[in-house]
């Protein structure tokens, strides 16, 4: 039985070693996944911060667009007021035909905007350019005719100044809108990248939890085997003590039996030598 217990204890000790090694490997794996998760979470935060900065820039340029539009519309409205005065005077004095210079100016602006913003075929692009050139020439001719009138000349100069200011604000609207769109696109791309990195971080965290739980399980098994080993140690120690006591009792019984035989011989008249006396002394009978 003692040999069987010793064998079981040896198996438990080997299991404990295996559990400990497995626990160490799994803890190392969990640490690796934790480090990767933390690095990815750090990168996610950096990307989100970067995206927020891009959002701030986008919002600033969108604000610039709104403010520049108000200014542009304000100067366009003032320009139209001057062209309205010019048309009234033109009609009153029957100058340069029936078509209003304000309508001509608006048509030119509309076509120029179309040329800048629409994708046209080469033929349509050519036709549009030719029409714009013709309208500009017409506008120039009529403007030169009206400038012969001093009042109209002054009004045309003021209208042109206002229109130039409106054009400056329109250019600012266009530039700010382009920058706002650029920062918007970068912001969206950065947020998407942050989502991808966050997903990778979540995957790394799941692997960390998986490895950590497996390591904890191996640790519990290691603790269990250590506890069982201690229980076996107690049983084995008890059995050894019991066996030792049995052997000692057997030796004592044999010594006592031998001593009793010597005493019997002594009572029967036999002489005892020194060795016999020592045996009697050791047995405790004398």
Q: What average pLDDT does range 250-277 have in this prediction?
A: 72
Tell me whether residue 131 is in a domain: yes
Cα dihedral 184, 187, 193, 196, rounded to 10, equals -90
* Residue 276 in this model has a pLDDT that exceeds 70: no
Tell me whether residue 208 is in a domain: no
Tell me whether residue 26 is in a domain: no
* Residue 96 in this model has a pLDDT that exceeds 70: no
CA angle 116, 118, 122 (to 5 degrees): 95
Going by C-beta distance under 8 Å and a sequence separation of 6 or more, which residues neighbour residue 283?
252, 255, 256, 258, 259, 260
* Residue 141 in this model has a pLDDT that exceeds 70: yes
Distance CA(174)–CA(162), nearest Å, equals 18
* Residue 219 in this model has a pLDDT that exceeds 90: yes
Containing 131, the helix (H) or strand (E) segment is helix 122-146
Region of poorest pLDDT, from 35-44, 152-161, 260-269 = 260-269
Going by C-beta distance under 8 Å and a sequence separation of 6 or more, which residues neighbour residue 154?
none
Tell me whether residue 119 is in a domain: yes
Going by C-beta distance under 8 Å and a sequence separation of 6 or more, which residues neighbour residue 180?
58, 61, 62, 64, 65
Q: What is the pLDDT of residue 204?
A: 97
Sequence length of the chain is 286
Tell me whether residue 125 is in a domain: yes
* Residue 163 in this model has a pLDDT that exceeds 80: yes
Q: What average pLDDT does range 70-86 have in this prediction?
A: 90
pLDDT tier for residue 277 given thresholds of 50, 70 and 90: low
Per the structure, the count of domains in the chain is 1
Of 75, 77, 103, 79, the closest CA to residue 171 belongs to 75
Question: Given CA atoms 277, 281, 282, 285 in this order, what sign does their dihedral have?
Answer: positive
* Residue 68 in this model has a pLDDT that exceeds 60: yes
Q: What is the pLDDT of residue 136?
A: 85
Q: What is the pLDDT of residue 140?
A: 83
Tell me whether residue 110 is in a domain: yes
pLDDT-above-90 percentage for the chain: 45
Distance CA(53)–CA(62), nearest Å, equals 14
Q: Which is more confident, 220 or 118?
A: 220
Region of poorest pLDDT, from 26-40, 107-121, 152-166 = 107-121
Is residue 190 packed enough to be buried (19+ CB in 10 Å), middle (13-18) or exposed (0-12)? buried
Task: End-to-end CA distance of the chain: give it in Å, rounded.
Answer: 39
pLDDT tier for residue 279 given thresholds of 50, 70 and 90: low
Query: What's the domain range around 123?
Result: 101-148
Q: What average pLDDT does range 109-117 have in this prediction?
A: 79
Distance CA(276)–CA(140), nearest Å, equals 154
Q: What average pLDDT does range 144-149 have in this prediction?
A: 74
Of 57, 78, 234, 47, the closest CA to residue 165 belongs to 78
* Residue 284 in this model has a pLDDT that exceeds 70: no
pLDDT-above-70 percentage for the chain: 92
In whole numbers, what is the pLDDT of the chain averaged over residues? 86
Distance CA(78)–CA(193), nearest Å, equals 48
Tell me whether residue 117 is in a domain: yes
Tell me whether residue 256 is in a domain: no
DSSP sequence for 49-109: HHHHHHHHHHHHHHHHHHHHHHHHHHHHHHHHHHHHHHHHHHHHHT-S-SS-HHHHHHHHH
Q: Is the pTM of this model over 0.85?
A: no
Distance CA(164)–CA(158), nearest Å, equals 10
Q: Which is more confident, 176 or 116?
A: 176
């Amino acid at each position: 039985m003692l040999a069987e217990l010793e064998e079981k204890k040896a198996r438990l000790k080997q299991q404990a070693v295996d559990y400990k090694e497995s626990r160490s490997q799994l803890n190392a794996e969990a640490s690796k996944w934790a480090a990767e998760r933390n690095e990815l979470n750090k990168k996610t935060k950096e990307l989100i911060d970067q995206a927020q900065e891009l959002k701030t820039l986008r919002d600033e340029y969108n604000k610039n667009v709104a403010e520049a539009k108000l200014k542009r519309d304000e100067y366009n409205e003032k320009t139209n007021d001057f062209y309205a005065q010019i048309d009234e005077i033109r009609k009153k004095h029957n100058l340069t035909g029936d078509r209003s210079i304000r309508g001509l100016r608006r048509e030119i602006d509309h076509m120029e905007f179309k040329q800048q913003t629409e994708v046209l075929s080469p033929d349509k692009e050519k036709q549009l350019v030719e029409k714009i050139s013709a309208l500009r020439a017409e506008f120039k001719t009529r403007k030169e005719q009206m400038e012969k009138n001093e009042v109209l000349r002054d009004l045309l100069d003021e209208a042109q100044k206002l229109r130039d200011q409106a054009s400056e604000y329109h250019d600012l609207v266009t530039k700010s809108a382009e920058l706002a769109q650029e920062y918007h696109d970068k912001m969206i791309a950065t947020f998407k990248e942050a989502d991808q990195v966050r997903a990778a971080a979540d995957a790394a965290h799941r692997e960390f939890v998986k490895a950590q739980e497996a390591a904890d399980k191996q640790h519990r098994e290691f603790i269990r085997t250590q506890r069982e080993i201690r229980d076996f140690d107690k049983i084995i120690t008890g059995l050894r003590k019991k066996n030792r006591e049995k052997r000692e009792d057997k030796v004592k019984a044999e010594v006592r039996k031998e001593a009793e035989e010597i005493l019997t011989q002594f009572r029967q008249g036999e002489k005892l030598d020194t060795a016999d006396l020592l045996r009697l002394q050791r047995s405790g009978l004398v």
